[in-house]
Amino acid sequence: MASNSRKTKRPSGDVNSTEASLAISTSPDGRQVELSDLTNAELRQELENVGEKPGPINTSNRELYEGMLGRRWRTINIWSRESREGARDESVNSRQAEQTSPSPRKKARTGTKQKPKPVLKDITVKGVVPAAYTPFGEDGEVNLPAIDLLVDYFLRSGISTVFVNGMSGEGLALTVSERKATAERWLKAAAGRMTIIVHVGSPCVKDAKELASHAEAIGAHAISAIPPVFHKPATISNMLLFFKEVSAGAPSLPLFMYNNPDATGVHFDSVEVLKNAYSKVPNLRGAKFTSFNLTEFTGCLQLHDGFYQMMYGRDEQLLAALALGATACVGSTYNYTGRLNNRLLAAYRRGDMAAAQKEQYRSQAAVLVMKKYECIVGSAGVGKAIMQLIGLNLGPPRLPSVALSADQLKELRKDLTEIGFFDWH
């Protein structure tokens, strides 16, 4: 806990006044603290005191954690003030009721004011959304600085939204602290220039909820969650209970269901899931829909007058999904075919179907090459190899995925050259 002998002073005026920089914040016990004066250990302790579970704090993520602490203190102070005001109101109302009530048995009952409900952020996801790879060093540790390079590369490719820590990002192969650190770096590197959707799904609902709370605290725009893939939900109702608990960790963020039945083995009709979710999980606002079932996809699009945002996830069928009403797509190949698929979208929007088909055929050729090696080293292994061939070394994948051998990398380059990939990707 930070000592009161550090740069602190008693507040003057409204203890809930907000400094623009969040540099000076009012703690729940009334201290005004210059957050930059706290040591990393003190900052961690203060965060833990308000229920947060921070990852490692260092110079690269310190600013995010200072902002997290300032926001949490302000929220606690607001709730505390409204609770006191509510208690005063209750006392006044009780006295008035005693004076006017003809009988003690008919005293007016008034409750304290409820805590303010968080306002759900409203985002619209459109266009090409890469399911970003997570960079590693040769030592197998997450290479956070490489995320900065990915952000710059995506921006140059016309990408405005990124999906992080998903299956392509090897999210389930990362520790909770690694996932937090990775999400923090994406937010810091993007610096408001991109929409960041953080995947928080986990086999452990408590971990998923903790990651959701962390994503909200660091300023993510939305979260997504895959259902548990080992202890699978037996019914749609059970799965929605899981999503409801996860979304409770981030009440201000929209939640996107991660639907990938071929990978998860969780096979529920998404239309029925979203029908039931409409009243049971109000934060659930759409899905990352990775399935070839376009009938099911369009059924989701039509629910409740288009209420749900559906991001289509089969890259090789994007054009068909666009024709059926898709406005956003998310997938792993968009890491290295972002420009191509932006051209596909532009051609479709201007009604040039021949040009759109040409780009879709190229995308399909790239997917077929990727699948040839995916069955040998895993999707992250071949995806990172392709990124290396276009000039972005994201390191090896994490086991059980493995990197391509030198001979396999040479063969991959040959296969990509034959389809013209390096000319049009």
Question: What is the DSSP secondary structure assignment for residue 282, as one 8-state letter?
Answer: T
| Residue 115, pLDDT score | 59
Q: Which of 288, 308, 312, 334 is catalytic?
A: 288
| The pair of three-digit structure tokens given for residue 342, joined into one six-digit string | 């932006």
pLDDT tens-place string over residues 15-73: 333 333 445 777 777 777 888 878 887 888 888 887 777 777 877 677 777 777 776 67
Q: What angle do CA 9, 15, 20 make, to 5 degrees?
A: 90
Catalytic residue among 65, 153, 258, 348: 258
What is the value of pTM for the model shown?
Answer: 0.76
Annotation marks residue 244 as catalytic? no
How far does Cα 413 stand from its chain's mean position?
Answer: 33
Residue with tokens 């009161």: 4
User: For the segment 32-46, what is each residue's pLDDT rounded down to a tens digit?
Assistant: 788 887 888 788 888
Q: Is the pLDDT of residue 153 over 50?
A: yes
Residues 244 and 280 sit within 8 Å (Cβ to Cβ): yes
Residue with tokens 């623009």: 20
What average pLDDT does the chain have? 86
Tokens 């709730």 correspond to: 79
Active site residue 308: no
Provide the pairing of β-strand 127-130 with 328-331. parallel
Tens-place pLDDT, residues 264-321: 999 999 999 999 999 999 999 999 999 999 999 999 999 999 999 999 999 999 999 9
For 243-363, where are the E strands, in sequence order?
A: 255-259, 284-289, 309-312, 328-331
